[in-house]
Structure 1
Amino acid sequence: MRLVSLLSIGFLTACVPSPGADVSMNQSKAATSTSTSTSAMNRFGLTAAPRPSRSNGEIARDFMELSFMMESGRALPVFARFEGPITVRTAGAVPPNAATDLARLLQRFRNEAGLNIREVASGPASINIEFVPRNVIRATYANVACFVVPRVSSWAEFRAGRNTGVLDWTSLKQREHVSVFIPADSSAQEVRDCLHEETAQAMGPLNDLFRLTDSVFNDDNFHTALTGFDMTILRAFYAPELQSGMTQAQVAAKLPGILARINPSGNHGGASEVNPTPRFWINQIQTALGTSGSVSSRENAARQAVATARAQGWTAGRLAFSYFALGRISLTSNPAAAIEAFTQAGLIYSRLPGGDIYGAHVDMQLAAFALSRGEADRALNIANRNLPIVARAENASLMATLMLVKAEALQMQGKSSEAAAVRIDSQGWARYGFGSEAQIRARAAEISALARRGNKS
């Protein structure tokens, strides 16, 4: 599941807490509705993600933890996957952009993960993707955007199977049919994000790991599209050397040879020891980035998360995310401390695999802060250096936000015509990323408010 919607600007908007449920889920973003005007919507092309840069020893370690554990911490006793060709079917109120994004995703699965997967128009399918109203999903799991469950082919079967044991992933010996449920009334990007993570988890790993910075299998919600690491994991998941019903020991014995074959560039180094993520740190992060409790209690939780990360000896993603959370919650009460926290997070992310998109999220906060202080040159430089990174990560909502920051910075510099052109260019990405006209106007108003504050500085 995903902890928070990270695109909000720390001192203007709040995040949502993570729910507790033993299904594979994506945390909901703020409620959106599909835009009625899609003619100017921008789309990403079909581009392969770069191969993972980490060693096969590290990938093998992560594969095992992703594949034999649930997000809730429950162990999966045996390896379970689809055997044979995989089919995908959509049902319900399918949004107009979903067909294109699904076709592109399936092509990526074939090209990058070597999967035998195709879409079918009707009849039984391995993966059944049903689009239902957001409020129906939230009535079942509060604050959840989308999720996947086993052994059912429809929402009706899911409702009937609750509390019966049918939906228990730990009892599976082999996957035969699963269902992914996605809100129909979502932005194109939220639908795309759900398609990527939940379809991947329908076929492969069910766990998320906070320590991964090059994967969508991470509760921090920075990556929104499947990465090269994710495709490597899926390719290994469906390697001919493996089969459903194998034990953890049997899979572990086969994995080094599989990774040497499918990822020869990873045949270097080993795997460092990584201690597990304790539940109390996760609770601290959820409190810090949640909406309940006072600002001071949330800031205290963020400081505790940083202290916990240091005490655990973490030096990578989990420490950086702790600093990020502290920066987010501290912006209004202690801007200097917030900037220091963001700076620490950015330094750590800059040396991690996949960390450039994390750095872009950090920089978005710093650019917004610079704009609020009237530092147009700094805000513009931050936006310009991150736009190519965000484009590669295919995050339209973050791209639109940075473009709006750029436009306001140009306006501050007296470059009105350039600012207007950037605002126009941002609209296509905003339509894909935010969906509704109301959401687009709200984000533009947030950025404009920062600029007004900066002009008064």
Structure 2
Amino acid sequence: MMPLRKSLVLLSAAALAVSGCVSAVAPPDISPRPEERVEAPQQSPESLALARYYQGIEVRLTQDGLLRTDSGQRDAPFSAAMLAANFERIALYDEYALIGGRFVQQQTPARLRRWEQPVRIQPHFGRLVDPAQQAEDRAILTTYATRLARATGHPVSTVRTGGNFHVLYLGRDDLREVGDLVRSLVPGIGAEVVAEIENLPRSTFCSVYAFSEAGGRSVYVAAIAIIRDEHPSLLRRSCVHEEVAQGLGLPNDSPAARPSIFNDDEEFALLTRHDELLLQMLYDPRLSPGLRPEEARPTLRQIAQELVGGSS
């Protein structure tokens, strides 16, 4: 059985009682200060084993022709009707539901959600993330943010401080102790979310949690993405592409979506042209936060027809 490459948990307004001031929180750096680095921390045997495991997964997937980095346009054409249907399933359904304090995989109709304030993506690194790796991660994230801003027409950028979309690059050893950090990043975060993050199973490659205001509209005010430091380069980049894009308002996956990263078949590793169009649709001003699938459907068909043409 193929392990789950991505896992999205999307929390509704009822899960968080905060205001827009979440973005103003100055989160602590989980890396020790230079004067505190008396002895370099060592990677645990469990973390080393995870690194070997994920390296093997990446090798196997690429050997099978998966984790593609091309656009897919050569062999995976799609029509306006397909694009509209894929958008509805990916943007207007949730992949997980909170049941009895646990997140259970369950397809559930949902309202359209997205950001209204500018998205400020801030990376955070665990104690064992190599400085050269941190520089590479920052560069990849910055380039990707520029691409997302172009696709959505919405302000998306990376920042060093004052972020509202936090991307945490953590190994297994840091994940166990990340509770204080995530509570500082998102005051009011539920205990079940903290527990989920601290105890991610090996089969969950990465995850994202997006939050809206309690009792408010379907508008995101904060997000946290978890990227495992044990991942080799392509899986690491793939996690960044999917989790950050999902945290903008595309919470679900669909087996029918192709060419797309919003599909658990692992065929594509990086955002495709199809996925850029989904993001463009998500932030089209003709759609508004809170729309249900049946309410959005006529407009979705119109927008997809304009973007792709052909049969609707």
| TM-score of the aligned structures, taking structure 2 as reference length | 0.62
Tell me, yes or no, if the aligned pair for 1:130 and 1:182 is still in contact at 8 Å.
yes
Q: Secondary structure at the match of 1:239?
A: coil
Residue deviations 1:312-331 (CA, integer Å, cap 9, x gap): xxxxxxxxxxxxxxxxxxxx
Q: Secondary structure at the match of 1:246?
A: coil
What is the distance in 1 between the residues matched to 2:146 and 2:72?
Answer: 13
Residue deviations 1:415-441 (CA, integer Å, cap 9, x gap): xxxxxxxxxxxxxxxxxxxxxxxxxxx
Deviating 4+ runs (over 6 angstroms)? 19-22, 46-49
What is the distance in 2 between the residues matched to 1:200 and 1:101?
Answer: 14
Deviation of 1:87 after TM superposition, in Å, equals: 1.4
Q: Secondary structure at the match of 1:226?
A: coil
Structure showing greater Rg = 1
Determine what percentage of the aligned residue pairs are the same residue: 21
* 1:68 correspondence with 2:106: no
What is the distance in 2 between the residues matched to 1:65 and 1:244?
Answer: 16
What is the distance in 2 between the residues matched to 1:220 and 1:252?
Answer: 26
Deviation of 1:181 after TM superposition, in Å, equals: 0.7
**Residue 119 of structure 2 aligns with which residue?**
86
Tell me, yes or no, if the aligned pair for 1:83 and 1:243 is still in contact at 8 Å.
no
**Residue 119 of structure 1 aligns with which residue?**
158
What is the distance in 1 between the residues matched to 2:148 and 2:7?
Answer: 28
Greater relative CO, 1 or 2 (CA 8 Å, sep 6+): 2
Q: Secondary structure at the match of 1:220?
A: coil
* Structure 1 residues 294-313: aligned runs within 5 Å: none
The one-letter code matched in structure 2 to 1:31 is Y
The one-letter code matched in structure 2 to 1:218 is N
**Residue 268 of structure 2 aligns with which residue?**
223
What is the count of residue pairs matched by the alignment? 220
Tell me, yes or no, if the aligned pair for 2:5 and 2:266 is still in contact at 8 Å.
no
Residue deviations 1:28-76 (CA, integer Å, cap 9, x gap): 992359xxxxxxxxxxxx9988698321111111111111222233324
Unaligned runs of 5+ in 1: 5-16, 34-45, 153-165, 271-457
Structure 1 pair 196–21 and aligned structure 2 pair: CA distance change class (3 A): closer
| TM-score of the aligned structures, taking structure 1 as reference length | 0.43
* Structure 1 residues 30-429: aligned runs within 5 Å: 30-32=53-55, 53-71=77-95, 72-93=105-126, 95-96=133-134, 97-125=136-164, 127-134=165-172, 136=175, 139-151=199-211, 173-261=218-306, 263=307, 266-270=308-312
Aligned CA RMSD, in angstroms, stands at 3.3
What is the distance in 1 between the residues matched to 2:7 and 2:243?
Answer: 15
Q: Secondary structure at the match of 1:101?
A: helix
Tell me, yes or no, if the aligned pair for 1:98 and 1:188 is still in contact at 8 Å.
no
Structure 1 pair 22–212 and aligned structure 2 pair: CA distance change class (3 A): closer
Deviation of 1:182 after TM superposition, in Å, equals: 0.8
Tell me, yes or no, if the aligned pair for 1:49 and 1:227 is still in contact at 8 Å.
yes
Structure 1 pair 182–22 and aligned structure 2 pair: CA distance change class (3 A): closer
User: Larger helix proportion, structure 1 or 2?
Assistant: 1
Structure 1 pair 175–76 and aligned structure 2 pair: CA distance change class (3 A): farther
Tell me, yes or no, if the aligned pair for 1:138 and 1:144 is still in contact at 8 Å.
no
Structure 1 pair 211–84 and aligned structure 2 pair: CA distance change class (3 A): same
What is the distance in 2 between the residues matched to 1:196 and 1:104?
Answer: 11
User: Larger strand proportion, structure 1 or 2?
Assistant: 2
The one-letter code matched in structure 2 to 1:89 is Q
Structure 1 pair 84–243 and aligned structure 2 pair: CA distance change class (3 A): farther
Residue deviations 1:124-172 (CA, integer Å, cap 9, x gap): 41x11011113536833332121001239xxxxxxxxxxxxx9xxxx97
